[in-house]
Structure formats: C-alpha cells, structure tokens
Amino acid sequence: MAQPKANSHKLIWIQVMAANDKKAHSLCTSEDLSSFGYFQRGQVRQHLVFASRTSAERCQKGSRVTISLKEVPYVLHVYRRVDGLTGVAITDQAYSERVAQTLVTKLTSGFEQKYGNSWKKVQKDEVMHYPPISDLLKEYANPNQADKMLAVQQNLDQIKEIMHKNIEDILERGETLDNLLQKSDDIGEVSKMFHSKAKKNNQCCQLY
C-alpha cells in the first residue's frame, strides 16, 4: 500500500496582535517549532515574536503583506485590519500565501467574535484565552488539504491584493533591522550576543 505523501510545507507560527497605533501587543499565539532543535526553540521563539511585532507595527492598516525574512526560508503573512486587529502566520516559502491569508482572516474574525472590541483596550502583551487558535494551526498545517477545503467552503476572491516585501522594506527611514533587534525587549541578551557574533562572522544561522 502506498504511503501518504509527507507534507513538505511548514506552518510554524500564528498570532493575533493588537496594532492600534505604533505599538503592537500580542493577544494569543500558537506555534509548532518541532522542526527546530530543542535547545534552539527559545531563541527561535524570541525572533519570531520580534519579527511579528515589527511587521504588525509597520504594515499599513487595511493591508495584506507577505514579508520574506532575510537569510532564512521563512515568510510572514500579515493581515492588519483597518481597526488594527492583526493576524500573522509564519510559514516556509513553499506554503500557499492564499491559504495563509485565508487562515489569518479566519483567525482574526473568530477572535473578534469571542472578544468583540475589548482587545482595543490592551496596552501590553496579554494571553487572551482562545483555544481555536491551536485547532487552526493543526487544520492549516497541510496547505494543500486546506486549499481544497476552502475552494468548497467559500469564495477565495475576497483575498485580493497581497503586497510582497522584504523585511527591510517595511522599516521607517533611518531604521535598521540590527538596531531594532538590539533595542527590542523581545530578544534576550544571549540571543542578541549570538546574533552580533554570527553577523560579524558572516554566518547564516541567524534569522536576520
């Protein structure tokens, strides 16, 4: 009997953030970092939080953006709604951006149905209880299967223009990713030191 084809796509992170003004705050997160070594996961998690927050703060309201990370084969799919509620999915480069954008749309819509506008009052990172986020991470782990399901269930034309940028493209004038990373509270001192050394030695093991 033929074995089912292994899923070669990776969905490693989904997150809901409140990005009302210039600051973005985490509301809930689900992750699958099993493809990383056990001792790497803490540093990887810090960098994913940093990338998600930086992207949510700098993408325009009402936009959908696919952002390529530097030197690693991962992509951020960001949907920042007009009201500031933002969904982020981080995948490998092979993952369908249409499926990813459908995922973050469903994620933010479901979150809003549970919490209404109460998230707008958030002034710092919170852990708001939303169990469906873990179900969505599992449901969308295989984009091919999810895409077939979506084609039956809904009209995909609602996913309109998706902008494509590199991580540097969303930075404001005068900003550099290295400076932002060194100032960020999301990145621990050990990770900052590791990043600086890797950058100095021109190694490709860092996320940026």
| Residues of the chain where predicted confidence (pLDDT) is lower than 50 | 1-7, 152-153, 155, 194, 197-198, 201-208
What is the pLDDT at residue 172?
Answer: 66
What is the pLDDT at residue 43?
Answer: 87
The interaxial angle of helices 143-153 and 97-115, nearest 10 deg, is 70
Instruction: Find tokens 């990370």 and name the residue.
Output: 69
Give the phi and the psi of residue 75 in degrees, each rounded to 5. Answer: -130, 140
What is the pLDDT at residue 8?
Answer: 58
List of E strands, 23-174: 25-31, 63-68, 74-80, 85-92, 163-166
Tell me the C-alpha distance between 118 and 111, whole Å.
11
User: Which residues make Cβ contacts (< 8 Å) with residue 186, sequence separation at least 6?
Assistant: 46, 49, 50, 53
